[in-house]
Structure 1
Amino acid sequence: MNSALVRLPRLLPWLDERAPDVVCLQETKLSDEAFAEAFDAPLKERGYEVAHVGEGRWNGVALLSRVGLEDVRRALPAAPSFQDAVEARAVTATCGGLRVTSVYVPNGRTPDDPHYAYKLEWLAALAASVDDPGHTVIAGDVNIAPTDDDVWDPAQFVDSTHVTPAERGALATLRDLGLSDVVRDRWPTERVFSYWDYRAGRFHQDLGMRIDLVLAGADPAGRVRAAWVDRHARKGKGPSDHAPVIVDLDTAPDGDIGPVVPPPSAPRRR
């Protein structure tokens, strides 16, 4: 979201338009009290139960559910600390029979920064938290591009985070548990991005990255009927730099409409 209060005027109409049963939010940048004050009433009107874990100025994650919100866990069981604090980066609950975790994976900054080592430790704790892979969904800002096909120009990311072998190896560990990257598995050869930097018109040139993932175990992955990026939600006034990733289970209300909807404004092809 990149600041929930700023995105509230966009989030509520999007919920009305898309009507998702479960929503994973990241980077709310609110305390639990501030989130409740701003969001609880309008979300309750729309039928959502809410679990939010926040710090105030930084981080913050939430789960919204219209299909139940049970056994809420407000952090990873073995979450590492950074600068003596356990950051608000994961919240887990059972929603409609699935164990869903909304994650905001540490950025890592640069490979020689202590934040990078913290990122790898945090990802190891995430993998260790998966108790029932077959009924697990992990969704959110993973801050890893799984392959070079998931960045607009791999040459731009040499010596950067998000693409290093260690980060991609940590993501592979999650897949080895039985979690499928459902968007890529459904669209193996398509150009699909979920994040575009605000600078230099990169969104309109489709110079992006795919770092927002939905990782799903055998039960939900086998029920996928559509998996796509709602690029339309990245347009207009005051958007986040990320677009929502939507996965439809059992039925596809909008149809199996492709990997990115609508298509890029001015796509670049490598």
Structure 2
Amino acid sequence: MRIATYNVNGVRGRLEVLLRWLALRQPDIVCLQELKAPQEAFPVAALEAAGYGAVWQGQKSWNGVAILSRGDTPVEIRRGLAGEADDLQSRYIEAAVKGVIVGCLYLPNGNPAPGPRYDYKLRWFERFAARAQALMDSDAPVVLAGDYNVMPTDLDVYAPERWRDDALFRIEVREAYARLLDQGWCDALRALHPDEVVYTFWDYLRNRFARNSGLRIDHLLLSPALQPRLRRAEVDREVRGWEKTSDHAPVWIEVADQTVRSRSKP
């Protein structure tokens, strides 16, 4: 089973890119971020024609998250996180898909830091960590996939010395990510590529994609029930080079199907 995350940076304006990639890679489950479309404008008909059912939480002009499933429709569990009743930003959706619980997230950017946006990012991270712990305690197979807006280590960012005060790389954010992993989550891409320079995002400015001046900010975290089934973890870097594409590349993993032991007859 192939599970992917992709910050599309505008699902309507980049629908052709998304559909092209879906046809090429044929993932079974996809988490999308930065839909930048209100709920009623999500292109559900086009995705259904491509073979995907969906649940989504839109937001006009900003944010927005969705979970796609090839050949069926995800069963939504929740949208949004507990802890701030007045938080209306569309950044988290969770569903049961093909025997796996999938949490799709778009963690706040947080810049400029320090400041109110950075404070919101840290609070959102703590609320997300509380939900992650509840899922961990369930012992279910879970994947938490999305744009975390965090570079966990120096290996995950070009020229790390330039990023020390950025909200994606400040010590408080990296420590929050480390505490999340300490719950028992496995960073799938880094688990299979422990020493490689692997990026998932390249800014449009200053020819950064051609120079490979990138960041690794899109992550798939696996619960212990899912970790032994991990077989591959890759970045479709070439998609970032397509015309009218997102500044993120899709990231995907392959997990082995769960085997069911049959009882032997007496």
* Match status 1:11 vs 2:15: no
1:21 pairs with one of 19, 28, 37: 28
Q: Distance in 1 between matches of 2:31 and 2:63?
A: 13
Please list the CA deviations of residues 159-193 of structure 1 after superposition, one character each: whole Å capped at 9, or x if unmatched.
21111111011111221111110100111100100
TM-score by length of 1: 0.87
1:58 pairs with one of 59, 62, 65: 62
- Aligned-residue CA RMSD in angstroms? 1.4
Alignment-mate amino acid for residue 119 of structure 1: K
Please state how far the C-alpha of 1:127 moved relative to its aligned partner. Answer: 1.1
Give the total of aligned pairs: 245
Q: Secondary structure at the match of 2:89?
A: coil
Please state how far the C-alpha of 1:68 moved relative to its aligned partner. Answer: 4.9
1:159 paired residue number:
165
1:30 paired residue number:
37
Please state how far the C-alpha of 1:48 moved relative to its aligned partner. Answer: 1.7
Q: Distance in 2 between matches of 1:202 and 1:57?
A: 25
Please list the CA deviations of residues 33-81 of structure 1 after superposition, one character each: whole Å capped at 9, or x if unmatched.
011xxx2122212332211101111111100013651243111133x36
For the Cα contact (< 8 Å) 1:68–1:94, is it kept in 2? no
Q: Distance in 1 between matches of 2:109 and 2:235?
A: 21
Please state how far the C-alpha of 1:111 moved relative to its aligned partner. Answer: 2.1
Alignment-mate amino acid for residue 176 of structure 1: D
Q: Which has the higher contact order (CA 8 A, sep 6+)?
A: 2
Q: What are the equivalent positions in structure 2 for 1:128-147 lying under 5 Å apart?
A: 128-130=130-132, 131-133=134-136, 134=139, 135-147=141-153
* Match status 1:45 vs 2:57: no
Structure 2 residues without counterparts, runs of 5 or longer: 1-7, 258-266
Structure 1 residues without counterparts, runs of 5 or longer: 252-270
2:261 paired residue number:
none
1:73 paired residue number:
78
TM-score by length of 2: 0.88
For the Cα contact (< 8 Å) 1:51–1:72, is it kept in 2? no
Q: Distance in 1 between matches of 2:47 and 2:57?
A: 16
Q: Secondary structure at the match of 2:202?
A: coil
2:198 paired residue number:
192
Q: Distance in 1 between matches of 2:217 and 2:37?
A: 22
How many percent of aligned residue pairs carry the same amino acid? 40
For the Cα contact (< 8 Å) 1:14–1:233, is it kept in 2? yes
